[in-house]
Structure formats: C-alpha cells, structure tokens
Amino acid sequence: MYEALFEDEGDIFGGSPRSKFMDVIFNANRSVAEGELQRLIERLAAMEKLLGQTMDDATIDRTIKQLQFEEADAVNDMAKELYIESMGNVLSQSE
C-alpha cells in the first residue's frame, strides 16, 4: 500500500494515474471538473446507501478497512482504473 506513495519516482511517463488525474482536475475547466467530482461523490453515496441496507456504519467502516488491508493490490488497481476513467471523462468534455 505504501509503495503507491512513491509510484511516480522513476516513472518514464511522468506520473501515476493519480498524479495525472490531479493535474487534469486542477487544470480543467472548473465546471467540467466539478461535474466529474459530483458524479464520483454521487456514485460513492449510492454505494454507501447500498451497503447501509445490510450493515451499520461501524460495520461498513470496518469492512472497508479490512478490504483495503487484505486486498490492497486489487483496491489499488481499481483506484488506478477509476482515476483513468475519470480523467478520460474530464478530458473528453474539455475538447
């Protein structure tokens, strides 16, 4: 999990999906960036609502932490995919 902190070091392409996403979000048209961030938050809220139908808040938090620990590589890979997808959404609307 901590190796992701240093992922940009030595990267010949100049950055990780996370750092490129941050570059795109902070340099994109404000309304386009806001729209993508709103989409992400609404999706997160829907997932929390879905989990809340079968678990209480403490169980949700514990389950997420456990998943982040036990499946760190898979969670990191999914995060990278989401950064790339969101970056593509912003860039496609910025043309």
**Predicted local distance difference test score (pLDDT) of residue 72:** 97
Instruction: Give the DSSP per-residue string, 22-36.
Output: HHHHHHS-HHHHHHH
Establish if 95 belongs to a structural domain. yes
Establish if 64 belongs to a structural domain. yes
What is the span of the domain harbouring residue 45? 29-95
**Predicted local distance difference test score (pLDDT) of residue 9:** 53
Establish if 44 belongs to a structural domain. yes
pTM reported for the whole predicted model: 0.79
| Tally of domains in the chain | 1
Establish if 7 belongs to a structural domain. no
* Pairwise pLDDT comparison (6 vs 26), residue with the higher score: 26
pLDDT (tens digit, 9 = 90+) per residue, 19-76?
Answer: 999 999 999 999 999 999 999 999 999 999 999 999 999 999 999 999 999 999 999 9
Establish if 16 belongs to a structural domain. no
Establish if 10 belongs to a structural domain. no
Establish if 20 belongs to a structural domain. no
